[in-house]
Amino acid sequence: MAYIGWGKCRVFVKDIEDETASWLELPTPVEDTTKLETSKGDKVEAKIEGGENEDVKYNRSTYAITFDIRKAKKRNPYIPYLDGVVEHKYAIFVQPEDPAVAGPYMEKATVSIEDNFDTTDGGKLTYTFDSLTPDDSSAQVKWGTATITTADDGSVSAFTFAEESFS
């Protein structure tokens, strides 16, 4: 029985420009920082005399998945960056605490990383994954579950995403 997809999530990323790359599980994000944010597409109005709308349409929305990970001894940044810039494109999947509940998946995203510090959390990296239109022009964000197999060393040895339909 599936429940609501809240609670402690797991974040998986993959460099999609490196043919030898495999999925990687990132450390658990800082509490309450993992979010999928939507920027509503621009509104386009067809006006007629008198200022009334004859028709209205919206352009496609854009999306970003953001979260913070604390800097810690012997913890590398996982995704190489220089002054916030990440060279490659990535895929990302956020798995809710209950893995039977659908989570957001972007198969193609641009990544930026910000270095932050405060006296409450110490050093943190803020990861932002901005969605890009997939090569097949499908949805930028898909919802579904993943079958994830990990090796003895904790690395991801197999990852399969299954999209869910909510219609």
Asked if residue 4 belongs to a domain, the reply is: no
Helix (H) or strand (E) holding 94: strand 85-95
- What average pLDDT does the structure give for the chain? 93
CB 81 within 8 A of CB 90: no
Asked if residue 3 belongs to a domain, the reply is: no
The domain of 134 spans 10-163
What is the number of structural domains in the chain?
Answer: 1
pTM: 0.90
User: For 9-25, how does the pLDDT look when each residue is reduced to its tens digit (9 = 90+)?
Assistant: 999 999 999 999 999 99
Which pLDDT score is estimated for 2? 52
Asked if residue 116 belongs to a domain, the reply is: yes
Question: Is the pLDDT reported for residue 1 higher than 80?
Answer: no
CB 143 within 8 A of CB 164: yes
Question: Is the pLDDT reported for residue 153 higher than 80?
Answer: no
Phi, psi of 125 (to 5 degrees): -110, 130
